[in-house]
Chains A and B, each alone.
Chain A
């Protein structure tokens, strides 16, 4: 089997990997916003839950989180299929790291913006969503891009719960044909190219969002 054949064989796994990465990154971004804001809330239960979420998911290993969701949760009555478990673990993980980025970026928005919006009569939800967050987003983009690439790499972990992603297909192919060096080299290159593509795509998004950047005087 030459490299082209290997590549074609792995394509289905590639699709799963891309789906997983995109879906979990999107959900993770949402979680990052929710808990990033939650950490600064005045309502203390919200703050406590947010802090707990962040500490737990940043302080424990992703593989443990994945196994826990897939193997341990059923014992509490909730059975997740591998795709849901994988997406959930990745999303929760990236959401925890992302929330710190969101929090930091919100703090970096000049105080004058929240004062001006307060003076104009916006309520706190409007201030947050219409004024503060749009200006915080450009600040977050570089780190979010890094997190997304990290998420792509982390997605390989789902092969361990038999989800048919790129790594799973590679391992399978290896078992069938034993063309070890070629298969894993092609696989690594496929991930590498995906990472570059992801980086490029988010770079485009970042440049588009730069117009929302706070003015620096």
Chain B
């Protein structure tokens, strides 16, 4: 099986509202998938479930053929323990819309802290790696700055370096540029674009930036009311969508762009 991540009939309910209903979805190793859809469509929820930030009420999620939310053999399954979840979490990294950098630590410390405390990496090794990553995202000279001294775009780039420092197999991006002022969107998107081009990292991105989506993705999924309504290569979904709702959604984004 080449599938890296599999959602199998996942149900996610919040209060009385079904956000995901029998949601099935898979991502292959090294694939770059972009999720698009209106707010409330479930795209953030999909990422958050994979990152174990949200629990599910039905179905299962598999990473590398291993169950995320349950452990044990098929004969005797029990809900995942904290230890199991922590083990699975190391395979997934996430970049948040609000960056969520630790304000009481410098950029360098932000990137170094988790590898040192969680992976038990020796500090100089972690710092060397951090320097490398910060250079890669173009922030080597600001590595001793605190988040308050960095612009939004710079903070998000540090956040990307921080997530990469843990060497995840799957990288999640939850609307990485939605909280940024327009002039800074480009610098973050180009970092993500480079990441996608270099390699074999499996990436799952939720975004509104259609041009970026077209450049970066192998496949685009349009989510509507908690289900995948349409998916396929970017030229098809964006250029020639089959479903009417997809067309309506894409048209509404164009309207927004015109008004902006």
Q: Are A112 and B90 within 8 A (Cβ)?
A: no
* Binary CB contact string for chain A from 195 to 217 against chain B (1 if under 8 A, 0 otherwise): 00000000000000001111101
**Chain A residues closer than 8 Å to B236, beta-carbon distance:** none
Q: Is residue A115 contacting chain B, with contact meaning CB distance below 8 A?
A: yes
Among B53, B89, B92, B100, which residue has its beta carbon within 8 angstroms of that of A113? B100
User: Which of A53-61, A71-79, A118-126 contacts its partner?
Assistant: A118-126
* Binary CB contact string for chain B from 48 to 66 against chain A (1 if under 8 A, 0 otherwise): 0001110000000000000
Q: Are A118 and B179 within 8 A (Cβ)?
A: no
Q: Are A119 and B53 within 8 A (Cβ)?
A: yes
Number of interface residues, chain A, beta carbon within 8 A: 24
Total A-B pairs, Cβ < 8 A: 71
- Closest beta carbon of chain A to B188's beta carbon, Å: 15
Among A116, A123, A135, A213, which residue has its beta carbon within 8 angstroms of that of B96? A116
**Chain A residues closer than 8 Å to B94, beta-carbon distance:** 116, 119
**Chain B residues closer than 8 Å to A123, beta-carbon distance:** 82, 86, 118
Q: Taking CB as reference atom, which chain A residue is nearest B150?
A: A215
Q: Are B103 and A135 within 8 A (Cβ)?
A: yes
Q: A215 and B148 in contact (CB under 8 A), knowing A112-B98, A121-B89?
A: yes
CA distance A14 to B101 in the complex (A): 46
Q: Are A215 and B147 within 8 A (Cβ)?
A: yes
- Closest beta carbon of chain A to B105's beta carbon, Å: 9
Q: Is residue B12 contacting chain A, with contact meaning CB distance below 8 A?
A: no
CA distance A120 to B82 in the complex (A): 14
**Chain B residues closer than 8 Å to A130, beta-carbon distance:** 113, 117
CA distance A123 to B90 in the complex (A): 12
Q: Is residue A134 contacting chain B, with contact meaning CB distance below 8 A?
A: yes
- Closest beta carbon of chain A to B206's beta carbon, Å: 15
- Closest beta carbon of chain A to B174's beta carbon, Å: 10
CA distance A215 to B102 in the complex (A): 9
**Which one of A110, A116, A123 has the greatest number of beta carbons of chain B within 10 Å?**
A116
Q: Taking CB as reference atom, which chain B residue is nearest A123?
A: B86
Q: Are B93 and A119 within 8 A (Cβ)?
A: yes
Among A122, A131, A217, which residue has its beta carbon within 8 angstroms of that of B118? A122
**Chain B residues closer than 8 Å to A115, beta-carbon distance:** 53, 96, 100
**Which one of A110, A119, A215 has the greatest number of beta carbons of chain B within 10 Å?**
A119
- Closest beta carbon of chain A to B17's beta carbon, Å: 20
**Chain B residues closer than 8 Å to A117, beta-carbon distance:** 102
Q: Are A122 and B103 within 8 A (Cβ)?
A: no
* Binary CB contact string for chain B from 159 to 193 against chain A (1 if under 8 A, 0 otherwise): 10011001000000000000100000000000000
**Chain A residues closer than 8 Å to B52, beta-carbon distance:** 118
CA distance A192 to B114 in the complex (A): 47
- Closest beta carbon of chain A to B81's beta carbon, Å: 12
Q: Taking CB as reference atom, which chain B residue is nearest A120?
A: B114
Q: Are B118 and A119 within 8 A (Cβ)?
A: no
Enumerate A158-196 residues with CB–CB distance to B below 8 Å: none
Q: A215 and B103 in contact (CB under 8 A), knowing A112-B96, A115-B53, A122-B118?
A: yes
CA distance A215 to B119 in the complex (A): 27
Q: Are A119 and B104 within 8 A (Cβ)?
A: no
**Chain B residues closer than 8 Å to A135, beta-carbon distance:** 102-104
**Chain A residues closer than 8 Å to B100, beta-carbon distance:** 110, 112-113, 115-116
Among B89, B113, B117, B163, which residue has its beta carbon within 8 angstroms of that of A118? B89
Q: Are A121 and B166 within 8 A (Cβ)?
A: yes
* Binary CB contact string for chain B from 203 to 237 against chain A (1 if under 8 A, 0 otherwise): 00000000000000000000000000000000000
- Closest beta carbon of chain A to B159's beta carbon, Å: 8
CA distance A112 to B97 in the complex (A): 10
Q: A131 and B102 in contact (CB under 8 A), knowing A119-B163, A122-B114, A126-B117?
A: yes
Known contacts A121-B86, A122-B117; can you find 20 more A-B pairs with CB under 8 A?
A112-B96, A113-B102, A116-B96, A116-B102, A116-B159, A118-B53, A119-B51, A119-B89, A119-B163, A120-B113, A120-B118, A120-B162, A121-B89, A121-B118, A135-B102, A211-B146, A212-B104, A213-B103, A215-B148, A217-B179
Residue numbers of B with Cβ under 8 A of A are 51-53, 82, 86, 89-90, 92-94, 96, 98, 100-104, 113-114, 117-119, 146-148, 159, 162-163, 166, 179
Give 9 nearest A-B pairs by CB, closest first. Answer: A116-B100, A212-B104, A120-B114, A112-B100, A121-B118, A119-B94, A134-B104, A215-B103, A112-B98
